[in-house]
Each structure stands twice: as C-alpha cells, then as structure tokens.
Structure 1
Amino acid sequence: MRLGRWASLLAVGLVLGTSGVGYAGEARFDWFEYRGSDPADPKTVAANAYRNPIIAGFYPDPSVTRVGEDYYLVNSSFGWLPGLPVFHSRDLVNWTQISNAIARPGLMNFGQGGLTGGLFAPAISYHEGLFYIVNTSFYSGGNFVVTAKDPAGPWSDPVWLPDLRDGIDPSLFFDEDGRAWILNNDLPEGDKEAYDGHRAIWIQEFDAKNLKTIGPRTMIVNGGVDISTKPGYVEGPHLYKKDGFYYLTAAEGGTGTSHAQMIWRAPTPTGPYTPGPTNPILTQRDLDPKRPNPIEAAGHADLVETQKGDWWAVFLAVRPYAGGEMFNTGRETFLLPVRWVDGWPRILPPGTAIPRQHLKPDLPAQPPAAIPTAGPFTIRDEFEGPTLPLYWMTPRRLDGAWWRLSEGALVLTPQAVTLSDRASPSLWARRQQHRDASFTTELSFTPDRPGERAGLAVVQNDESWFRYTVERLDGVRTLVVAVRAGENDPKPGRILARQPVPGEGPLRLRVTARGGSYDFAVGTGQDGWKPVLTDADGTILSTAIARGFMGVLVGPYAEAGR
C-alpha cells in the first residue's frame, strides 16, 4: 500500500445527496479557512527531525498498528460524528486521515448524552487480512468491534460485545499460536471499589472469526502497579509479545496532570503479571508544573515495532497555555521512541520533559502530508466537491437533512435546535489545533424570523460555547456574540456584544483564539476587519473549567426560532 493511494482519498468524506439553488432562510457558507500556530513551537525543524505533537488538536487516545511498511492509527471522537478517525503513515511522522470507522447514519445513537460521552478510547489491530477496531460507546450499547479489509473503509456495522460488561478501553491481542485475547478496564472482582477510582484490567479469549468473547474473564491487574498507593483509574491496556514474555502496558492516575504509563510482564497472556523495575515508563507528573510552556498529562500509550526492529510509542498529552488543565486544544497525539533496558521498555526516564522536536524514526523518508497535522499551517475549504473532508464533524447524529453542498458552498437549513439542547443542531465543525488560531468564513444569510440566526459556533461541550451569528434584533440585521459558560448559565446563552450590519449582503466572519482569549470580527464588501468583541474569556472552554475530554471545535452553524 503506497502513500500516493491515500492522497486520492483526502477528499472522500461525507457525501450529500442533494444540491441546487438556495432557499429562503438558508445560510450559505462559501468557504472556510483555518490558520494556526503555537508560540512555543520550534521555528524550524531539521530535515531529520519531527515536531511533537504529530497530530495536533483534539485527537486523543491514540492506538497504532503496523502492516508491513504501513502504519495505521485511530483516535477517540466522543460525541462527535463521523467518529473514530483512522490515519495512515509510512514514517510514523506524516499522517493522512483515510477514513472514519463510524461514518454511516444510524450506527450509533448517543441519545441526549453529553458530548463528552460517545466513542471512547479505540484500539486498532490487524490479523490475517482483516483490520479490527474495538471500542466503547457510552449511551449506545457498551463495547463493540468493527472490521474492514481496507482501513480506508468501508468499516462494518458494530458487533456488540456484552460479555465485557460495563468496562471501557478494550484492545485486541493476536498471539503466535493463533489465539486472540481481548483486554479492558472494569471494576475489580466483586464489583466493589476499595477506594474512589479503583479499577482493574481484565482479559478474556476472543473468537476473531465469529467476533465474540469466549471462556472465562481473568483479572490480571488489580488497582495498578501498587494498590497500596490507591492508584486511580488504571485503563487503556495493550498487550505485546517479545522474547517470550507478554508485556502489558496501561495508564494510571486519570487523564489529568497525574497521568502516567505503567508496564508489567508475564509468562502467559493470563498472568501472573509482574510490574517493571522502573514505573512509570512515561509521565510528566514529576516535573515542576510552573515550568514554561509545559507539556502535561502524558499517558494512554500504545507501542509499535517497526519493520527494522525499533520500537516507538504514540500517546496523548496536552499543551496548556496556563497551569494545570488550562488548554482548549484537547488531548493530542505525540510520538517518542521506546528503549529496552534489561528486558523492559521505557519511553522517558523519570523527570524528563517531552521534547517538542525529536529525531525521526529510521524509516524511509516520506513527503509531508497534503493536509498538515503538525506545526503551523493554513487549511482552506472551498466546499467545491461532492463531499466534506474527513475532519469535519457534527454532534451526535449523521442522518439529518439540514445541510447540503451546493455550487461551491456549504448550505445549512436552520433547525429549532440550539447548542445546549443535547441534540443534533445545524452545525459542522473542525478542531482547533493550535493555541493561536483563526477561523474565517464568508456567510450569506438574511434572517427574517425571530430567533433565526446563522454564523460560527465555538463549542467545547453542550454547556460551554460561544455563538457568533447574524440575526434580526428590533428589525435590524445584527451581529451577536453570545456565550454559555457552564450549566448554571441560561441555555440560550448570554449576549456579550451586538453590532448592526449595514445592508443584506455577504459577510466575512472571523473568530481568533489567542490562548485563553477569543476575538470576533467582521468584514463587509472591500472593507477590512472590524472588531465586534475582543478579549472574550476563552478559559470557559478549557478542560480545567468546562471539564470533559474534548477540545474546541469551530464551524458553520444555523438555528431557527422556536
């Protein structure tokens, strides 16, 4: 499988069945441009080096597998669809999204669950001509597996795995004897926690032909490396075999600043498992939290062996613009080499900061990805093809008839669904991938009913968002910036700024993120940019305040009056 093959798939996204002229009340977005950079990024990177993160923005919980000279990676997507983005690379550095594993309407029903639910922590693997992704879906059936002969899709409908019970983070391991095993996190034996966050890692045999679990479940880790320390939320298990041992890695400490990656090994898949002599094998919790430009919360790693026998790890981490969990970009995908020391893997020595650039893997050189995933970049969508690019997402459902691609524009029909309704609003969005970013579009929209509005939505979750829209107030076409800053705020949001708009022609709307501040500006005709609101408090979109596991998404939005 050659990289050139995947380049032709970049535009293969969601196909829309109808097109044509616009209708009254519709919102037309002629293009959308994203531009981003990070002040702490290296200004230049040597030809033999790469930048961390390798996939910036809300791409958490990476899992990776190798097939020959090709590498495939999958991330979580939670309550956004299409879900479970699948990437391809041949050098572990330049990644191209080739599919979404959950990409057809009706496969998932998240109901009215929060956006931070949905699709958690997938794991990708390959065996005898078939790719497998196992995953957990909150609000929609528990644990499941999907398969594909081609990772670019189509992926199968989900096959549910009820025997995994209420656990999360499943992963598959295919042994040399042909047997398959499935691991996951769950409550300890007896379903009783000895302390808050007490979890265990379980293993069970898996029938890969019939896609079902078989035989007894065995608890192989109770609590974590040292249960006397009351480690919290051991999760994200992965199993490997090397030199006759079975190596288990899993994260401890939750996904915040206490996050850490642990290692055990055993003579058989079912144990007994012995912790390694140096744990954790990756963490940033032992560093000064006041250091400048930190990378934090590292963990949830997956290891892969290259065709040359080297080992590398992909893992999540975050880049705060202020202490702790003050970041809006979500959990991102990083890459570091794995060293084997006296029969044990190690990603970073204790007390070592994650480097923002590193020497590339010893793999054949590859050209940069057509759509960048790291470093400063600009991406402009002209909406000229029959599909949306694969990185566009919408909350909860894919079966709405509220949008279409028409004559080089994304056209939205306003629905009486708001950003707070835990439903499926008229919204397509893409990730904020940098601390400093701008989102710009050109909008044609004439509101003529009370409550009808269209523009840009800046969303962290159902309770934390900005709405930057054109609407009619007191008979005047007006630009409005509104915010909802937590569940105690009114669901319709609070108006922060308003500005009358001359005429009824197209508008250029721009949202600019600057760490914890957001600016909103407008351009009309040949005029330059005029501020509508500056220095809005964007910390309300941070993980520290909004909570959850996601990053900010921004995109075209439309809403009808009720």
Structure 2
Amino acid sequence: MVALALIGFAPLTAAGQAKKTPAKHAPAVKAALPIANPVLAGDYPDPSVTKIGNTYWATATSSNWGPTFPLLKSTDLQHWTLVGHVFPGERPAWADYYFWAPEISQSGGKTYVYYTAHKRGGNLSVGVASANKPEGPYTDHGPLVGQPAGSIDGFPMQDEKGQPYLIWKEDGNSVQQPTPIWAQRLNAERTALIGEKTDLFRNTAAWEGNLVEGPSVVRHGGYFYLFYAANGCCGTGCTYATGVARAKNLLGPWEKFAQNPILTKNDTWTCPGHGTAVERNGHWYMLHHAYRTDGFAQVGRQGVLSEFEWTGTGWPKFLNNHTTPATPALVPAVVADEFQTTALSPDWEWPVEDKPAFALSGGQLRLTAKPTGGGATIGRTTLAARYQATTTLLAPAALPAGTVAGVAALGDPNNSLNLSAGDNKLRLWERRDGKDRTLAETALPAAAALRLRVRALGNGQFRFAWSPDGTTWTDMLPTSETANGQFLPPWDRGVRVGVVAQGPSTATATFERFELNNEK
C-alpha cells in the first residue's frame, strides 16, 4: 500500500476516526525537501512509489520497451537508483504489449505490483506480480480483471475495516463511453478479485474531458482521498491535469473537490498527472509525470515530485503548483557504458515483443543482426531535449554482405533515424511507418573502427556524423540541413538512442563504449 504514516497528524482508528494523541507525543515536522525536478529524468510515465522499511521504491510504465517495469530505490525521494526490473527477462506469458501503470505496494511482508498489459487475443487487463523483497524476483499471478472495453490502472487499498480492495479504471474512452472508477474486494492473498464490484465515480466534470484514470488513494483525517488524472495524457497536444475526491468509506459516496483540478500546467511542466501520494518527514508529496514545456516532448513524460499540504477545509493543496524551478534538475552531464561486465546495464532497453540477441565481453557489445523490422536495436532513454550520443563500431568493412550497423535515434521498430556502415558505404536513413528511405550516403572510409555520432538539436531535429579517430568529424548532411525526427516518438513514450544491426541473423556487429552527453 501507499505509505500511510501520518507523521504530525493524529492516527486513525479502524472506523476512520481520529484518536486523540497528546501533543507531546507528536514528532516534530522536519523541513520540506528542496525539490529539483525531474527527480526521474527520462521517460517514466505513471510513476508509483511506496515506502518499505527505510527505503522508497518506485516503478513506472515501460509500455512497449523491455525489460518490463523499472525498479528504482531512494532514501529521500530525490535521488533514485535504477536497480532492475519487475520482469527483467521475458514478459508475462499472458500479455504481449502496452505494459502500463505498475503500482508497487507492500503487505504482509510481500511486495506486490499491480500492472496493466494487453492480453494476448484480448484487451487491456490488470495483472499482479509478487515478491518476497521489493527488488524481486517477482512471480506473476496473471490477470485479475479485463473488461470488454479494457481495464487499466489498478491500485490496491484497504477499506475502513482493513479489507483489501483493488481500484481500477474501466477504459471506456477507448469505445467512446464514460470511464468508471471501480473497486472490488481482493482475496487474502491479494491475487484475485472476489465479490461484486462497486462504481466509485466516473468522468462528469467538464475539465475531465472523456476520462478519469490513474487512481491513487490515501487516508487522512477520517477521509479516503482519491487523487486521479483526467483528460488527454500524451503528446504535444496533451490536456492532462489532476483532481481529487474524498469519501468517509472506501466504497463511497465520493465527493469531488469543487476546486478541481488541483494540479495543472505551469511555465516549467505541462500535463501533470497519474502519480502516487506519499509522506516523508510530515510532508506530503505526489510523484507523478509531466512533460517539460521547453521542447522536451521527445524525452517523454518525466518523473516529477510535487509537495502538497492539507488545508483547513481538509482538502489537499499543491504548493508552488508542482515545481521548484529555481533548483537545477538532476540530469547527469555524461552517461557512459564501457561494456566491462558480462550483463547489460539495466539502463538499456529493447522492443518488448522482439528482444535482440547480444553478448558482452572484454569491453565490447556484440549485437546479432536481424533482417527485418528495422534490424536488431537496443537503446537508452534520453534525458534532455538536446544531447549527443557516440559509439565505436569495430571492423565495419568486415561486416558480411547485406549487413549494416551503427547508431540510431529510436521511436519504435517502425520509426527510427540511423547512421550505419556496411556494404562499402556509410548511409544515413530513416525508417518511417515501416518504410526505409536514404537521406545521405558516402563511401565507407578505410578504418579499422569508426566513431559514429547522433546529435539531437531540440524540436525533433538531428545531425549525424562520423570520425575515424574521434577527433576529426564529418557530417553526413550539409550544415544548413538536419534530419527531421519529429515523427519518432509514439503517442505514449519518448525517444531512445542506441545501436542497430540489420542483416542476416548469422551476422554480428561489435561496438565499444557508448556515451551520452546531455545539454542542460
């Protein structure tokens, strides 16, 4: 469950009434965090957070990138370390894609992740996995609910009697219908639904548009508070915002706040929503996603921490409208991988439906080529609107006939920008909606190794260059031209940058060192 330690507030009885605690026993409230957003730089939509012991654990949507569902930990909600994934190898057998909205919680010494995925031969469903410790390994228990219109955004919560429930959204907007938020009892193992479901509320206010979703519930002052997102989540035309409703009992009746939405866009962040409320040192926060307003749509929805307080009327109020922009963001200037281990760093990702074959040895990454679908690709989430990524391709002239390999900006298997070597030439090409087109090409330089570089200039514009020594660089396009990558990001995720190998499955491309330089 969400961490519910109400430090500085009176504890609740099972009936939801506040106990009278002598003031001398109430711990002092410590100073609030000096928030530097994004706390999760990169593409981390629908983030979830809970406190287990002295550590905060978080996860987020991975959509159609594998491994599935990142696992991050922190001691202060500000500095996070990626330690692995809920499903680090194969995705659950019952699902094929759209791995969305994982909700991490702790109960009875076990860690649970309730998540959304598309059921093979079916529709979107809410599933659950559990582990004996938050870092895993996790055992999948399959889907709990999958309504005809789709079921997404599962959130576990105990009612006023301590009974476990699952709260989720029926995806009615996918079929031009309303979007009820449902609640239904969980079994004692928290792995199946029992009893009848209850409709808590649905989209009825004008600002909510065609949906309400992403429920997150906390208990405070005798009420359950359900934070939710509404309207359009994604892309440059998004209209997302956050509202709240409250009820004395988990099954209602629920009252929406008259002053909704309570979390909206500002000059720094836009379309804030779908997060989890959490308490630290007597202060309350929500870890949610938002887009940077200054050309960061290609990065994706990043993890933003926003503080709120409880007002005299009992409703939450966000402070400084979800950001402290005076503090610089925690985006590293340089991220490099020397490939010195035998296991790929958890920062690397691949298409979830088509994991490529690769191996690491002696500071080299060997990527097995794939003949179709844009080739075999692995990438890393981008952290800034402007960056450059470089890697070294070894023995480009020795690649088998029909094999090309190089550096790429990756949207999905059908959309990418690539600079590749092979077949006696260097070629800059785009793959758009599954169709390949050459943008520029030149004769393959006579070099034992080639440095390849992609540079993002912002606003979806890219430049590509090569070097035989890492010192003298030659651009593939004239100075006045760029490669237009505005088509790259899918509607629900950001662009990755990485390497590609296209050709017969008997061919292998070898890379050394991958470096990502971020411009703040």
Which TM-score applies when normalising by structure 2? Answer: 0.82
Pair 1:393-2:349 in alignment: yes
- Conserved in 1, the CA contact under 8 Å of 2:373 and 2:413? no
SS of 1:551's equivalent? coil
Whether the aligned pair in 1 keeps the contact of 2:300 and 2:494 (CA below 8 Å) is yes
8 Å contact kept, 1:471–1:478: yes
**Which of 322, 333, 336 pairs up with 1:377?**
333
Partner of 2:291: 318
Residue 247 of structure 2 is aligned to residue 274 of structure 1:
no
Change (3 A) 1:398 1:175: farther
Unaligned ranges ≥5, structure 1:
1-46, 112-116, 360-372, 420-424
- With over 3 angstroms needed to count, the CA separation of the structure-2 counterparts of 1:108 and 1:497, relative to structure 1, is farther
1:74 aligns with 2:59: yes
Q: 1:109, CA displacement in angstroms?
A: 6.8
CA distance change for structure 1 residues 229 and 253 in 2, over 3 Å: closer, same or farther?
closer
Q: 1:438 aligns with which of 388, 405, 429?
A: 388
Change (3 A) 1:222 1:107: closer
Q: How far is the alpha carbon of 1:197 from its aligned partner?
A: 6.0
What amino acid sits opposite 1:273 in the alignment?
W
Give the counterpart letter for 1:560 in structure 2: G
Relative to structure 1, the CA distance from residue 110 to residue 309 in structure 2 (aligned partners, 3 Å threshold; closer, same or farther) is same
Q: Is the contact between residue 163 and residue 213 of structure 1 (CA under 8 Å) also seen in structure 2?
A: no
User: Structure 2 matches for 1:148-187, cutoff 5 A?
Assistant: 148-162=131-145, 166-175=150-159, 177-187=161-171
Residue equivalent to 1:479: 426
- In structure 1, the residue matched to 2:220 is 242
Partners of 2:94 and 2:417 in 1: CA distance: 26
- The structural deviation recorded for 1:450 is 4.6
1:71 CA drift (Å): 0.7
Aligned: 1:416 with 2:371? yes
Structure 1 residue identity aligned to 2:111: F
TM-score, length-scaled by structure 1: 0.77
Give 1:104's aligned residue: 89
Partner letter of residue 498 of structure 1? E
The answer on whether the counterparts of 2:340 and 2:362 sit within 8 Å (CA) in structure 1 is yes
Q: Are 1:345 and 2:289 counterparts?
A: no
The residue matched to 1:118 in structure 2 has which SS? strand
User: How far apart are the structure 2 equivalents of 1:167 and 1:82?
Assistant: 22
> Is 1:58 the equivalent of 2:28?
no
Cα offset, 1:484, TM superposition:
2.7
Report the AA paired with residue 385 of structure 1. Answer: T
Higher-strand-fraction structure:
2
| Offset of residue 340 of structure 1 | 0.8
Query: Counterpart of 1:299?
Result: 273
Q: Which residue of 2 aligns with 1:263?
A: 244
Q: After TM superposition, give the deviation of residue 198 of structure 1 in Å.
A: 2.7
Q: Is the counterpart of residue 207 in structure 1 residue 190 in structure 2?
A: no
Distance 2:114 2:504 in 1: 41
User: What amino acid maps onto 2:427 in structure 1?
Assistant: V
Give the CA deviation at 1:494: 0.9
1:283-308, CA deviations, whole angstroms, 9 ceiling, x for partnerless residues? 11xx5xxx6xx4211111210022x3
- The alpha-carbon deviation at position 230 of structure 1 amounts to 6.5
**Shift of residue 427 of structure 1?**
1.6
1:521 aligns with 2:470: no
Distance across 2 between alignment mates of 1:520 and 1:334: 31
Provide the rounded CA distance (Å) in 1 between the counterparts of 2:258 and 2:218: 18
Q: Work out the CA distance in 1 between the residues paired with 2:77 and 2:87.
A: 23
**Which residue, out of 87, 92, 102, partners 1:122?**
102
* Distance in 1 separating the partners of 2:384 and 2:474: 23
What percentage of aligned pairs have identical amino acids? 28
Report if the CA contact (8 A) 1:507-1:524 is conserved: yes
Residue correspondence of structure 1 range 514-553 to structure 2 within 5 A: 514-516=457-459, 517-525=461-469, 527-533=471-477, 535-541=481-487, 546-553=489-496
- TM-aligned CA distance change 1:531 to 1:110, over 3 Å: farther
| Pair 1:382–1:94, CA change in 2 (3 A) | same
Structure-2 change in CA distance of 1:198 and 1:398 (3 Å): same
Structure 2 residue matching 1:282: 3-state secondary structure: coil
Letter in 2 for 1:218: T
How far 1:187 sits from its partner (Å)? 4.9
Q: SS where residue 327 of structure 1 aligns?
A: coil
RMSD over equivalenced CA pairs, Å: 2.6
- Output the CA distance in 2 between the equivalents of 1:384 and 1:187: 45
Partner SS, residue 115 of structure 2: strand
Aligned equivalent of 2:112? 132
Contact residue 94 and residue 142 of structure 2 kept, 8 A: no
Paired positions, count: 462
Contact 1:248 1:263 survives alignment (8 Å)? yes
Q: 2 CA distance for matches of 1:332 and 1:301?
A: 11
Change (3 A) 1:353 1:184: closer
Instruction: Tell whether the 8 Å contact from 1:82 to 1:398 is kept in structure 2 after alignment.
Output: no
Residue in structure 2 matched with residue 354 of structure 1 by the alignment: 323
Which residue type is aligned with residue 379 of structure 1? V
Q: 1:49 to 1:310 in 2, by over 3 A?
A: closer
Q: Which amino acid aligns with 2:443?
A: P
- Distance of 1:197 and 1:497 partners within structure 2: 47
SS in 1 for 2:40: coil
Contact 2:462 2:485 in 1 (8 A): no
1:448: Cα distance to partner?
Answer: 5.0
Q: CA deviation at 1:537?
A: 3.8
Change (3 A) 1:200 1:471: same
Residue in structure 2 matched with residue 506 of structure 1 by the alignment: 449
